[in-house]
Amino acid sequence: MSMKFIKGFFVMSMRRTTLFVLCAAAACAAGLVASNKAGLVEYAGAQKEIVASGRTQSVMDLKSLARRRGLYAVGAVEGLDGEITIFDSKPYISKVRGEAFTVDDSFDHGAIFIVWSEQSNWRDIPIPNTVKRYAELQKFVRAQAAAAGIDVAKPFPFLVSGTPAEVAWHINVDRTEGKPLTKELFMKSKAGYVIKNEPVDIVGFYSEMLSGVFIKPEEAAIKPQDGITNAIHIHVVSHTGKAAGHIDDLTLGDGMTLRLPTPGF
């Protein structure tokens, strides 16, 4: 083997190593983390880590999810500057600006936490008119998923469509005044809204095992008398308005539809 070949191989190896180190350093500098898989979902970052660290830097560039088909996701924008909702690969990134809010349809944003799933096949299930409130919806989703053969012990996505009587929802907005994020400041950093009798799509994720990751351990809509803990994270996208964000509570209307994934079909 010639010295010229050995030298060339060594230089090429050094270049590859340098490139790898530079890429890794860039990822670390951006605060990026590897995604995790569980059940029918993937996720990056965690709500509990945000509060524990007091930091709101991005853990994922949404552009890494672009061009994926059948993509559904919910999350929060870096810096507590908005909400991430992706419905069938179309992003709805809502941010508070002054007294109003905007909704951007690009992937040019970072997430401090996000959960997503890629699903092309869904099974429609009519929601009985007796199912109206948040806790009732959570119980219905679990029961129908179990009946459909989905392992409810593992996370899975679901959709709801129709016209709710009312949806109370919010958008994250930084109200920390430069202070490290705490649970109290996290709860304060929200702008609340209400929509009534508007046709919507709801993107939801169910999980009993990842509380504090992308499921809030406590949700105001879950009352002690409900006999359950919160296990869903749901976002709304309005058909007629520009509403898009995290659902705090809701009252379903008549004739709404639950959609559950049918992997492998």
Q: Give a yes or no: residue 18 inside a domain.
A: no
> Count of domains in the chain?
2
One domain, residues 88 and 218: no
Shared domain check, 135 and 60: no
Q: Which of 99, 117, 135 is the last residue of a domain?
A: 117
The reply to whether 178 and 86 lie within a common domain is no
Phi, psi dihedrals of residue 177, rounded to the nearest 5°: 55, 35
For residue 170, give both structure tokens.
């919010």
Q: Determine, yes or no, domain membership for 145.
A: yes
pLDDT tens for residues 68-80?
999 999 999 999 9
Q: What are phi and psi of 224, to 5 degrees?
A: -55, -35
The residues, any chain, with a CB within 8 Å of residue 225's CB and separated by 6 or more, are none
Q: What's the rounded mean pLDDT across residues 140-156?
A: 97
Region for residue 88 given its phi and psi (left: phi exceeds 0; alpha: psi -120 to 50; beta: otherwise): left
For 42, 46, 85, the CA distances from 37, given in Å and listed in that order, are 4, 13, 19
Residue 50: give its domain's CATH number. Answer: 3.30.1330.80
Query: For 34-75, how does the pLDDT look when each residue is reduced to its tens digit (9 = 90+)?
Result: 789 999 999 999 988 887 888 889 999 999 999 999 999 999
pLDDT in tens, 206-225: 999 999 899 988 888 999 89
Give the model confidence (pLDDT) of 157-205 as tens digits.
Answer: 999 999 999 999 999 999 988 888 888 888 889 999 999 999 999 999 9
pLDDT tens string 114-132: 999 999 999 999 999 999 9
Q: Give backbone dihedrals phi and psi of 54, rounded to 5 degrees, phi first.
A: 75, 10
Residue 107 has pLDDT above 60, yes or no: yes
Global pTM?
0.86
The pLDDT, as a whole number, for residue 24 is 40
Residue 174 and residue 239 in one domain: yes
Calculate mean pLDDT across residues 77-102. Answer: 96
Range(s) of the domain holding residue 221: 122-261
SS (H, E, C) 131-200: CCEHHHHHHHHHHHHHHCCCCCCCCEEEEEEECCCEEEEEEECCCCCCCCCCHHHHHHCEEEEEEECCCE
pLDDT for 51 equals 79
pLDDT of amino acid 17: 42
Looking at the fold, whether 219 and 246 belong to one and the same domain comes out as: yes
pLDDT of residue 32: 58
Final residue belonging to a domain, choices 76, 91, 117: 117
Residue 186 and residue 257 in one domain: yes
